[in-house]
Homo-oligomer: A and B are copies of this chain.
Amino acid sequence: MVLRLAVIGFGNVGQEFARLLLSKQQWLWRSRNLVVEVAALATRTRGSLLSEKGLDLERALREIRSRGTLVCYGPEVAALPPLEIIEQCNADVMIELTPLNIESGQPALSHVQAALEIGMNVVTANKGPVAHAYDSLKALADSRGVHFRFEGTVMDGAPVFSLVEKTLPGCEVEAVAGVLNSTCNFILTEMGRGRSMAEALAEAQRRGVAESDPSLDIDGWDAASKITALANVLLGARSTPQRVERKGIRDITSEAIKEALAEGKTIKLVARAEWAEGIVKTSVQPELIGPDSPFWSVDGTSSALTLRTDLIGELTIIETNPTLAQTAYAIFSDVLMIAEAVRKGTT
């Protein structure tokens, strides 16, 4: 079986995914009887590629690394915007990895919508579509008989959505709570070790954990998008990040951290979603965490999520020190699940 991908966005995650795909080609063929080809690679400012036969990923990676652009790749270069690439590439699965505009969910939202419209399966590591329009996108996917998967949107490679979908049949998720933003968690951890927020942020930026403009993390927008994605998918909310009761870590002082430590506690940015009075309430705010909490050991760039369910009570999943490789794996696992479902003819 041949599965053709259109990869939209070729930044760090896209490149890591390409490397993972290259390293797993033989395994895919041997153990899954599967050939995964990349039919298209689209970027906003660094060129796009389109090929009937499947692109040479090693060459694409080399071009991006050495020249910073794909425009010298060869005759497969296509001067088309991503939306037209999606429409023309004839792929089986569109992989959406563009940078996110958290307010609107664009351009990912349009890309996902366009792919689903023409009956293409979609995998995204981009929170936008799930946080802004999960309900309508899922309905669209169902109406076209295709798959819409997004494991990489929350907690990188740790299975969160798959965990509920595949391993907890019949279980209702009543509430979720998580430490979901690695930049904030890294900063708070470093502050607990005596650094100032400015020092901790600089260190996070030096390590590539934080963006040069860290406000989306610091002000809780990233966590708000993630908890909205979780609320929409697992709790049936129809919400957006703007509706999250949101307080970031900007105002957390070294004194507050010291006071918490003196009480034997620590401060973490916790995102919550819960059914209450007929609606799903979502919030992001700094909380005092004690040593009896499963979040206690979740330091640095690690993340964690607790699910409260009707049939098995509380379950927590912790991802320790993830890297880009974990996000790439999330996409890879979604692609494998789609391949398996397509092969079995199930949705």
Contacts and interface: CB of A to CB of B under 8 A. Distances in A.
Interface string A223-254: 00000000000000000000000000000000
B325 A314 contact: no
Given A291-B296, A320-B294, A159 B170 contact: no
A216 interface: no
Contact of A296 (B157, B162, B296): B296
Interface string A302-332: 0000100001111111111111011001001
B169 A333 contact: yes
A336 interface: yes
A255 interface: no
A300 to B, nearest CB: 10
A66 interface: no
Contacts of A292: 297, 299
A261 to B, nearest CB: 12
A265 to B, nearest CB: 12
How many copies of this protein are present in the complex? 2
A29 interface: no
A171 interface: yes
A298 B304 CA distance: 14
B312 A158 contact: yes
A25 to B, nearest CB: 12
A337 B296 contact: no
A319 to B, nearest CB: 6
B325 A315 contact: no
A315 B317 CA distance: 7
22 contacts: A24-B170, A31-B170, A157-B311, A158-B312, A166-B166, A166-B167, A167-B167, A170-B333, A294-B297, A294-B318, A296-B296, A296-B297, A297-B297, A306-B320, A311-B329, A312-B326, A313-B322, A313-B323, A313-B325, A314-B319, A314-B321, A318-B318
Interface of A: 20, 24, 27, 31, 156-159, 162-163, 166-171, 291-294, 296-299, 306, 311-323, 325-326, 329, 332-333, 336-337, 340, 344, 346
